[in-house]
């Protein structure tokens, strides 16, 4: 039973000034696993996600990706980030580049692949997320759902070892949420290692191998979706689920 940890966090602490946003976080995500992080807003779940590729530096503790400690700011960190795909709440597509250019930029400039190859792979990815026909448009010309699918394609173009999703559907109009979740579900089914911060309980039930519940900067529960949703152990989780499910 020697499954390798794709992500390992040990005794991670972080403050924003007075605020203790991450308290002694210990978390491992095995290769091929899909972990959904749940929790009320302000619980630190987004921050946790962003520390994994060091968009947020931490105060103390250890973070490893694929067995390697996160390097300091510099070339080595850039190299690590190339292997960790990230999808943001607000898409953050490069506004001055077309959808295809968004997807090929990383492979061209970081992976140094040829233009023809990058475009062929990029188109294939856009096909996969269902927006190949939008390839020459600029991000502002696309709907939110289309933009987020493009952002997923951009991250996948780097052939990442792990994908981080930071509330990928929170900024979307309700009718567009499903198209993004469908792409993510497919991705999970293909065996991609994923850490997903979300409020989408349906996705957690359907696609997650594990649910991690955070509150006040702590990991309060770490269980399978069935256990978490049917038998939460902590009061804070019960309270949280109560509020969500009564809607």
Partner 1 sequence: MGVIVEHFPLYAQGFLQTLRICLFSAVGALVLGTILAGFRVSPVPPLRAVGSAWVTVFRNTPLAVVLFAVAFGLPELGVNGSYFYFGVIGLTCYTAAFVCEAVRSGINSVSAGQAEAARAIGLTFSQSLSLIVLPQALRTVVPPLGSVIIAMIKNSAIVGAFGVGGDLFAQGIQLTSAQGYAAAGVLTGVLLGYLLLTIPGGILLGVLERKVAVAR
Q: Which residues bind partner 1 (CB under 8 A)?
A: 53, 55, 73, 75, 78-86, 88, 90, 92-96, 105-106, 109-110, 138, 140, 151, 154-155, 158
Helix (H, G, I), strand (E, B) or coil at 75: helix
Rounded to a whole number of angstroms, the minimum distance from the CB of residue 89 to partner 1 is 9
- Choose between 94 and 173: whose C-beta lies nearer to partner 1: 94
Rounded Cα distance, 48 and 59, in Å = 12
The structure tokens 């359907």 sit at 206
Q: Which is nearer to partner 1, 82 or 223 (CB)?
A: 82
Shortest CB 42 distance to partner 1, Å: 20
Sign of the alpha-carbon dihedral angle for 201, 240, 226, 163: positive
Nearer to partner 1 (CB atom), residue 103 or residue 237:
103
> Of the two residues 86 and 220, which places its CB atom closer to partner 1 in the complex?
86
Q: Is 185 left (phi over 0), alpha (psi -120 to 50) or beta?
A: alpha
Show Cβ contacts of residue 36 under 8 Å, excluding neighbours closer than 6 positions.
196, 197, 198, 203, 204, 207, 208, 210, 211, 212, 225
Which of residues 138 and 229 has its CB atom nearest to partner 1 in the complex?
A: 138
Least distance between partner 1 and beta carbon 182 (Å) = 23
* Token representation of residue 1: 């039973």
**Residue 208 vs residues 86, 87, 104: alpha-carbon distances, Å:** 18, 17, 29
What dihedral angle (degrees, nearest 10) is formed by the CA atoms of 173, 163, 60, 41? 20
Exposed/middle/buried for 227, CB within 10 Å: 0-12, 13-18, 19+? Answer: middle
Least spacing, CB of residue 218 vs partner 1, in Å: 26
The least CB distance from residue 236 to partner 1, in Å, is 30
Q: Closer to partner 1 at the Cβ: 84 or 195? A: 84
Q: Closest separation between CB of residue 96 and partner 1, Å? A: 5
Q: Which is nearer to partner 1, 123 or 201 (CB)?
A: 123
Three-state SS for 101-125 is HHHHHHHHHCCCCCHHHHHHHHHHH
For the bound state, the minimum distance from the C-beta of residue 67 to partner 1, rounded and expressed in Å, comes to 18
């Amino acid at each position: 039973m020697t499954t390798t940890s794709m992500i390992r966090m040990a005794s991670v602490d972080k403050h924003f000034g007075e605020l203790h946003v991450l308290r002694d976080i210990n978390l491992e995500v095995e290769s091929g696993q899909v972990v959904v992080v749940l929790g009320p807003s302000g619980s630190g779940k987004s921050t946790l996600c962003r520390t994994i590729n060091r968009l947020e530096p931490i105060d103390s503790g250890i973070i490893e990706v694929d067995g390697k400690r996160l390097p300091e700011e510099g070339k080595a960190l850039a190299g690590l980030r190339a292997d960790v795909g990230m999808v943001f709440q607000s898409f953050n597509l490069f506004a001055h580049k077309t959808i295809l250019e968004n997807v090929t930029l990383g492979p061209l400039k970081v992976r140094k692949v040829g233009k023809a190859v990058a475009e062929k792979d990029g188109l294939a990815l856009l096909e996969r997320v269902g927006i190949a026909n939008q390839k020459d448009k600029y991000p502002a010309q696309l709907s939110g759902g289309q933009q987020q699918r493009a952002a997923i394609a951009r991250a996948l173009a780097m052939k990442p070892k792990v994908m981080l999703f930071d509330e990928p559907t929170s900024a979307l109009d309700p009718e567009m949420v499903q198209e993004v979740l469908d792409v993510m579900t497919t991705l999970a089914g293909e065996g991609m290692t994923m850490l997903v911060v979300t409020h989408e309980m349906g996705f957690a039930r359907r696609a997650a191998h594990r649910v991690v519940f955070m509150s006040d900067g702590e990991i309060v529960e770490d269980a399978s979706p069935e256990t978490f949703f049917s038998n939460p152990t902590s009061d804070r989780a019960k309270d949280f689920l109560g509020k969500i499910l009564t809607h």
